[in-house]
Structure 1
Amino acid sequence: MYDVITIGAATQDVFLQSKGFHLLHSPRLKRTCECFPLGEKINVERIDFATGGGATNAAATFCNLGFKTTAVAKVGYDSSGDAVREDLRARRIPISWVARAKKGTTGYSAILLTAHGDRTALIHRGVSAQIGAGDIPWKNLSARWIFVTSLAGNMKLLKRLFTAACARGIRIAFNPGMQELRRGLADMRAHCGAAHVLFLNRQEASVLAGGVRDIRRLRRALHPHFQNAVVVTDGKKGAWYWDEARFLFARALRVNVVNSTGAGDAFGSGFISGILRWRDPVRALQLATLNAAGTIQRMGAKRGLLTRMPSRKELQHVNVTRL
């Protein structure tokens, strides 16, 4: 039996960092955009390759922190698929449930980074978007937790997966993508309301709640639909946690941000690692914050992850307050 089975995307990522990428706020679009001149050749000061995807990123955290882990994902018969499988194998994460599609290519992301680490990701989901019921090891689905990331909006598969997990006493952590969130609150509740912990960033939470931004109003809007635990992250500010009895805020650490790709995966998997270890959301928030802080200081989603459980003294560097 595994401690955690992660389910979701597996990708090859390339990081392109340039002083020629700039941020510009557009009053017309009402958002900040990453811009570069059309038609020009732009120098790239740094280029890095790494594997990514929610399933493999989360599995790396769980494995690093001593939990028995495997990943369910899908790659193609190509060099990117080879890279994903080799990276997992090097981390001693079993790859028997990383399926290889006969047609199609491994998911690929090009991440355009400004000099300050702000980024835009160009994503080709490839065969990661094709995970279906036939790729899930139903007979061998035995774990304390499953950590589910985006399944490309396949709500029917999510419902079946959550039902199977609940029937076997497996706890569920869910970090949805925009393809799931755009289905709306009612659909999310119907298919995914059984999640024991739901992870969202603040923008995603706002989308799900119909545009609400204030965190207390977000809690009031979402809690009736997801009555277990909800975690909402907000980048440099920190993260909120609530359940039936508690409302907590963990302040983010001030660190030099190199790249924020994978921060959400690091936070979510760090949090569940804390729950597995201590069954305490306060210490889980502290562990999650440390794990995410390490990730954003390195290029790639896995290189800065914690490699051991932090001490109590190290955990206390993260301030958690009750609201």
Structure 2
Amino acid sequence: MRHVDVVTIGSAIKDVMFYTNHGELISNKNDLTAQTLLAFEYGAKIEIDELYLNYGGGALNVAVGLKNFGLKVAPLVNIGDDAAGREIFNFLKHKRINTGLVTIDKTHPTGFSYIVSLRSDRDHTIFTYKGASVFLDTSHISHLTADWYYISALSMRFWAKEIDRVIDIKRYRSRKNLTEPKIVWNPGRRQFDESLKMLRILPHIDLLILNKDEAIELVLKVLGRGVERQRINQSRYLLDELRRLEIKNIVITAGARGAYGLDDRGRYYFKASLKRKKVDTVGAGDAFASGFVAAWHQTGRFDRAMEWGIKNSGAELTEVGAQNGLLKGKIK
């Protein structure tokens, strides 16, 4: 049976990215999970200033990032039997990434994301069509063994069952006195919409990665009345509240400010963002995740993982696309 360092699980899609000067940012402080809105004139025809075509999806982005650091990686993704799917498959081959867990869906098309960015601040809003990713099946996951499993946003109806398969691998290795794999989880919209299902999974996860909005949403939804709302924007408070859910290690990314962490020994971490010229923010979270996982895999140190997560996400911001600016080479 073939072995890889990391299996990444989630989506692989095609990204259509465009920039415009015609949007307006609106403050929405009354909604803690949507504090800034991007608005356009209703019914208007909006001119696009720049257009780019790239590949994306959490599993694909993180797989490319890990491969750049020299790890053996295999994305577990479902793509359509169409032009976009063939492009993605050939892209993986070109990158020399293991395609043994890639499935081709004869019925459903490859997913697409349409990404709107303002030229003024280069931040974005994403409209995503998951396509074949909704029908991802992880039943063939045992065709490869791995030291780590990275689970990104899952779109299928029975997403919890798919994660259970990964947890079962961990339990099996424990029973056989084999080295247990680590499980990293960066959940998505479907998971937060069904947040109560997350509660039984979280204690089995070795690392949970969230952005700040996601951390606020999870805390509010599952802890509810016990939350001190006047402190909900404080990242350290969010870490403490999330620890109540029996999560071993937690990282909260906070955009331009940096990232906060809490490890399984109760130690807090903060790593400030690097001052770089921001060209594009798409994929910054995935870049952080791949830098973090690569460094933790290779050094075993949480502080080094935080450092390389920030380095990789900072580098990614300097080029358009979720993978074009990613760092390459060995973790030093």
Same fold (TM over 0.5): yes
Residue in 1 that maps onto 2:176: none
In structure 1, C-alpha distance between the alignment counterparts of 2:296 and 2:124, rounded to whole Å:
30
In 1: Cα distance, 2:154 partner to 2:30 partner:
33
The structure 1 segments of at least 4 consecutive aligned residues displaced by more than 6 Å after TM superposition are: 27-30
Aligned residues: 308
Residue 170 of structure 1 deviates from its aligned partner by 1.3
Whether 1:151 aligns to 2:154 is yes
* SS of the residue 1:187 aligns to: helix
**Do the aligned residues in 2 keep the contact of 1:162 with 1:192 (CA within 8 Å)?**
no
Match of residue 193, structure 1, among 196, 200, 203: 203
Name 1:247's counterpart in structure 2. Answer: 268
Query: What is the rounded CA distance, in whole Å, between the counterparts of 2:125 and 2:35 in structure 1?
Result: 13
What SS does the corresponding residue of 1:67 show, helix, strand or coil? coil
Secondary structure of the corresponding residue to residue 255 of structure 2 = coil
Which piece of structure 1 moves more, 257-266 or 299-308? 257-266
Shift of 1:219: 2.0
* CA-CA distance at 1:155 after TM superposition: 1.0
**Distance across 2 between alignment mates of 1:98 and 1:277:** 25
Instruction: Identify if the C-alpha distance between structure 1 residues 249 and 210 changes in structure 2 by more than 3 Å, giving closer, same or farther.
Output: same
* Conserved 8 A contact 2:9-2:152: yes
Using structure 1 for the length normalisation, give the TM-score: 0.90
Displacement of 1:181: 2.2
Which segment is superposed worse, 235-244 or 149-158?
Answer: 149-158
- More displaced stretch, 11-20 vs 34-43: 34-43
Q: Which residue of 2 aligns with 1:217?
A: 237
The alignment status of 1:180 with 2:180, answered yes or no, reads no
Call closer, same or farther: CA 1:303–1:216 in 2, change over 3 Å.
same
Of 286, 290, 296, the residue aligned with 1:275 is 296
Whether the 8 Å contact between 1:200 and 1:231 is mirrored in structure 2 is yes
| CA deviations over 1:199-237 (Å, ceiling 9, x no partner) | 111111111111733223212211132331111101001
Corresponding residue to 2:324 among 293, 303, 307: 303
CA distance in 2, matches of 1:155, 1:310: 33
Secondary structure of the equivalent of 1:210? helix
Is there any run of 5+ residues in structure 1 with no aligned partner, and where? 312-323
- TM-score calculated relative to the size of structure 2: 0.88
The superposition leaves residues 288-312 of structure 1 with CA deviations (integer Å, 9 ceiling, x where unpaired) of 111001111211100000011354x
CA contact (8 A) 1:174 1:198 kept: yes
What is the aligned counterpart of 1:25 among 7, 24, 27?
27
Q: Specify the alignment match of 1:163 in structure 2.
A: 168
Amino acid in structure 1 at the alignment position of 2:243? H
Mark the CA change 1:192 to 1:141 in structure 2 (over 3 Å): closer, same or farther.
farther
Pairs within 5 Å for 1:68-107:
68-107=72-111
Q: Give the 3-state SS of the residue equivalent to 2:27 in structure 1.
A: strand
Equivalent residue for 1:206? 216
Give secondary structure in 1 for the equivalent of 2:116: strand
**Bigger shift: 166-175 or 52-61?**
166-175
Give, as a single letter, the amino acid of the residue that structure 2 aligns with 1:223.
Answer: R
Identity of aligned residues (%): 28
Contact 2:78–2:102, Cα closer than 8 Å, also in 1: yes
Q: 8 Å contact 1:202–1:233 — kept in the other structure?
A: yes
Decide whether aligned partners of structure 1 residues 28 and 63 sit closer, same or farther in structure 2, where only a CA change above 3 A counts: closer
Which residue is equivalent to 2:283?
Answer: 262
- CA contact 2:10–2:153 (8 Å) conserved in 1: yes
* Partner AA of 1:114 in structure 2: L
Please give the alpha-carbon distance, in whole angstroms, between the structure 2 residues aligned to 1:227 and 1:38: 43
Using the TM superposition, give the Cα deviation of residue 90 of structure 1 relative to its aligned residue in structure 2, in angstroms: 0.9
**Residues 168-220 of structure 1 deviation map (CA, whole Å, 9 limit, x = unaligned):** 32111111112112322x42120232111111111111111117332232122
In structure 1, the residue matched to 2:136 is 131
Letter in 2 for 1:253: L
Q: Which runs of 5+ in 2 are unaligned?
A: 174-179, 222-231
**Residues 27 and 209 (structure 1 numbering): CA distance in 2 closer, same or farther, change over 3 Å?**
closer
